[in-house]
Homo-oligomer: A and B are copies of this chain.
């Protein structure tokens, strides 16, 4: 039932996304129980020019 969303920079391969969906699902089940079959993982890729930390865009760092 749970929904997990990830915001990260672009550039991960399909294999990394595949691993990520698996790792987050299994990690949730280890920590909280349940079966994981209906757990959603939604990945959002955020460009460095759309992500600021400390008032500065990551594309400027």
A52, B40: Cβ atoms closer than 8 Å? yes
Q: Output the nearest chain B residue to A48 by Cβ-Cβ distance.
A: B1
A55 touches B8 (CB 8 A): no
Cβ B1 vs Cβ A4 within 8 A = no
Q: Is the CB of B20 within 8 A of A27?
A: yes
Chain B positions within 8 Å of A43 at CB level:
46, 50-52
Contact across chains for B18 and A28 when beta carbons are under 8 A apart: no
What is the bound-complex CA distance between A38 and B61, given in angstroms?
Answer: 14
Chain B residues positioned under 8 Å from A52 (CB to CB) = 17, 20-22, 24-25, 40-43
Can you give 20 contacting A-B residue pairs, CB < 8 Å? A1-B58, A2-B7, A3-B8, A3-B42, A4-B7, A4-B24, A6-B28, A19-B31, A20-B32, A20-B52, A21-B52, A24-B31, A25-B52, A41-B55, A42-B50, A42-B52, A43-B50, A44-B44, A44-B50, A45-B50
